[in-house]
Amino acid sequence: MEYKFNNYYEMLDSSASLHPKNIAIFSEKAKLSYKELKLKVDQTITFLRDNQIAKNDKVAMIVTNCEEFVISFFAITAIGAIPVPINTFLKKDEFRYILNDCQAKMLIVSNSHLKEIDGLEMSSLKVVVIGEFKNSAYQSFKDAFYKAIDKDFVSPAKLEDTASIIYTSGTTGHPKGAVISYKNVFSNILGINEIFSITHKDRFIVYLPMFHSFTLTVMVIMPIYSASGEVIVKSVFPFPNVLKQTLLKRVTVFLGVPAIYSAMAKAKIPWYFKWFNAIRYFVCGSAPLARQTIEDFERIFPRAKLLEGYGLSECSPLVSVNRPENKKVSSVGLPLPKFDVKIVDDEMIEVKTGEVGEIIVKGDNVMQGYLNNPTATDEVIINGWLRTGDLGKVDSDGFLYIVDRLKDLIISKGQNIYPREIEELIYKIEEVQACAVIGIKDENEDEDVVAFIQLKEDMVLSEAKVKAFLKNHLANFKIPKHVYFADELPKNAAGKVLKRVLKENIKGKIN
């Protein structure tokens, strides 16, 4: 695969030269042309260099959706430093772990998250705040926009260099940092552009969190490649505002997760939105859609195509997607150009067409590895093939279908949640004998976190106490929606809790 650019700065410079007046960013606070965006990035480059940020330094980002996310992300990569976008829904202990693990030299943070940052006791960490603040030890991101620019600046970043580190939920309670190169991301962008024919006339709406690999690659970086526009909305809530901005800004590409499309299929969408929107494609990632959701959605939006895809952070993130002219319901499409997908058994031997096995992926999209974790890297990347941990099958036409997950991963509102992390904390509660955490689909095809607890003899424990304990250690989206107490949890002969039995017993009782 041949690549046009070595890094994101070259890409931005090209778009700003070819389409300087094109609007790059629409947000609640500003409207920036490509020329204006490039200027702000150049000023921020000077700001970072004045702070002694250099190639390969890590700059963490705890930033909500805003134009400053785009500006800082591109400036960090321009000098060859490495941005580390962090899930903004995490808590102080989780932030501390990631900041230490990646050895961040600087943290750029939205002022809405200063409460979690204060008291981290990381004296060597330079903190730059977006918005108003009182702590005199911090710097203001606004200071960047008073800096002179270096007209002779040339980005030192190369195609094989690390472009970002994306932390994924960890099966052992700690997240792992997926090391992503420029080549990884450009392989995704080239494939998506080819399939969807993206041009400078397209506009994307960015309402899903920018720290997420799906949003970051497809809605933040890719539009810059084609000099398209990004309509930035702070949050999915209130959702009518997302629809309003989609309509007013003439958005042409709408990306979402199953919970969004399920809700849209059931909601009372205004008639004028249905018929006067400019959307060419609705694209779904994160998890498979239910067939009924697809049918209901396409009945409401007959002019636009709803296309499912599949990916994971370790693949930068896209692996496959349905084509506008060639798709199959319930499938997540064909692999992107130049990517290879196989279905294998436990011995990594390819199974027959139509048989279920683990999905493995090979191509320029596969990450470089996990930061500071060669053991975990060697477990998932074998001879260039990435073991996804997902179960799937491929039909005779090459279409991929997701069947289940080898991991016990729960996906709630697009967020990855690993039960073991929650279980290990529950086990710290004195009254607990055994526990199991599972995901149960709700009416919107999203997953609720549900915990089952077996108490020690003569012990008493309430659901409220369990949730209160977990809230001190976990992000809110990881807190179980329901906690059930059982005399005994079902187990197999080896003593392993049978989560499948728990799911069957509880299904339909909690929604």
DSSP assignment of 89-117: T--HHHHHHHHHHHT-SEEEEEGGGHHHH
**C-alpha span between 68 and 206 (Å, rounded):** 14
Write out the two tokens for 113.
């998250």
The answer to which of 163-177, 375-389, 421-435 has the lowest mean pLDDT is 163-177
374: pLDDT strictly greater than 90: yes
Quickly list DSSP for 159-196. Answer: TTSEEEEEEE--TTSS-EEEEEEHHHHHHHHHHHHHHH
At 171 the pLDDT is 46
**C-alpha span between 451 and 420 (Å, rounded):** 11
Q: pLDDT by residue (tens digit) across 262-317? A: 788 877 888 888 888 999 999 998 777 877 788 888 888 888 789 999 999 999 99
CB atoms within 10 A of CB 303: 10
**C-alpha span between 15 and 41 (Å, rounded):** 13
Residue pair 416/409 in contact (Cβ under 8 Å)? The answer is yes
- Kindly list the domain boundaries of the chain, sorted by start residue: 12-149, 414-506
β partners of residue 23? 33
Close Cβ partners of 56 (under 8 Å, ≥ 6 residues apart): 80, 81, 82, 162
At 511 the pLDDT is 54
Rounded to 5 degrees, what are φ and ψ at 110?
-70, 145
Q: Which of 41, 43, 39, 75 is nearest to 59 (CA)?
A: 75
At 302 the pLDDT is 83
**Long-range contacts of range 338-343, CB-CB < 8 Å, 24 or more positions apart?**
338/1, 338/187, 338/191, 338/363, 338/364, 339/187, 339/191, 339/363, 339/364, 339/365, 341/394, 341/400, 342/385, 343/392, 343/393, 343/394
More confident position, 178 or 420: 178
Close Cβ partners of 222 (under 8 Å, ≥ 6 residues apart): 188, 189, 192, 193, 198, 204, 228
**C-alpha span between 380 and 314 (Å, rounded):** 10
166: pLDDT strictly greater than 60: yes
Helix axes 258-266, 291-300, angle to 10 degrees: 50
Provide mean pLDDT across the span 332-361: 96
Confidence band for 86, pLDDT divided at 50, 70 and 90: very high
Provide mean pLDDT across the span 446-464: 94
| End-to-end CA, the chain | 47
**C-alpha span between 395 and 197 (Å, rounded):** 26
Residue 358, CB half-sphere, CA atoms under 13 Å: how many? 16
193: pLDDT strictly greater than 70: yes
3-class secondary structure, 436:
strand
Residue pair 409/447 in contact (Cβ under 8 Å)? The answer is no
Q: Which of 32, 27, 30 is nearest to 206 (CA)?
A: 27
At 20 the pLDDT is 98
**C-alpha span between 485 and 451 (Å, rounded):** 9
Give me the CATH code for the 12-149 domain, please.
3.40.50.980
**C-alpha span between 327 and 191 (Å, rounded):** 16
Give the distance from CA 155 to its chain's centroid. 26
Q: Which fold has domain 414-506?
A: GMP Synthetase; Chain A, domain 3 (3.30.300)
18: pLDDT strictly greater than 50: yes
CB atoms within 10 A of CB 43: 19
Q: Which of 224, 217, 191 is nearest to 1 (CA)?
A: 191
At 508 the pLDDT is 60
Which runs of E-coded beta strand occur in 134-264? 139-140, 162-168, 176-181, 203-206, 229-232, 253-256
**Long-range contacts of range 233-241, CB-CB < 8 Å, 24 or more positions apart?**
233/28, 233/65, 233/205, 233/206, 233/207, 234/28, 234/64, 234/65, 234/66, 235/64, 235/65, 235/207, 236/207, 236/208, 236/260, 239/263, 239/267
- Work out the mean pLDDT of the chain and round it to a whole number: 92
493: pLDDT strictly greater than 60: no
